[in-house]
Amino acid sequence: MNNLQYAIAYTGIIAMLLCIISAILGRVNRKYYKEICALYKEKYGKLPWMTQIYDNINSLYVKSAYGFRMDFIFRPLIWNKKSSSSQNDDKDFIRGLPLRLRKPFYIEYGITVTAFSFMVVLGILVLIDKYI
């Protein structure tokens, strides 16, 4: 095995571990998600329509369900924009939540982006190994 193949192996292992950690954090954050949903309903009366539709769908079967369901949290936190499916200007509400509710979602997003970055690097390394 040459150095490039070692780099591919290590990058693949790191990417896989980060994906597993991200999936675990997604499950752990379910408790915080429910708490945020309750606070959101208390303030605005109902959840954004996409969140309502995908709220009880198992995201293992419908891959896009998790993204649609979490959009009303991630979009205001990360991009400082209102949720795409909300009629309310909810970005200040979500960003104003206590840190104990927001922090796990920042961590999950950071690990997911890092995992994706490692996957891209892994793909590039595999292409380099194959064609060079």
Of 103 and 88, which is predicted with more confidence? 103
Q: Taking residues 46-66, what's their average pLDDT?
A: 77
**In the prediction, which pLDDT does 54 show?**
82
Residues 73 and 79 sit within 8 Å (Cβ to Cβ): no
Instruction: Please tell me the predicted confidence (pLDDT) of residue 66.
Output: 81
pLDDT of residue 1: 73
End-to-end CA distance of the chain: 15
- The mean pLDDT value of the chain amounts to 90
Which region among 47-51, 58-62, 108-112 has the lowest average model confidence (pLDDT)?
58-62
**b/e map of 59-75 (b: 16 or more CB within 10 Å)?**
beeeeebbebbbbbbbb
Domain count, the chain: 1
Residue 96 has pLDDT above 90, yes or no: yes
Domain span including residue 35: 3-131
| pLDDT band, very low/low/confident/very high, at 83 (cuts 50, 70, 90) | confident
pLDDT at 61 over 70: no
Residue entry with tokens 């690097």: 121
Q: Do residues 14 and 111 make contact, with C-beta atoms less than 8 angstroms apart?
A: no
Residue 89 has pLDDT above 90, yes or no: no
In the predicted model, what is the mean pLDDT of residues 49-68?
A: 76
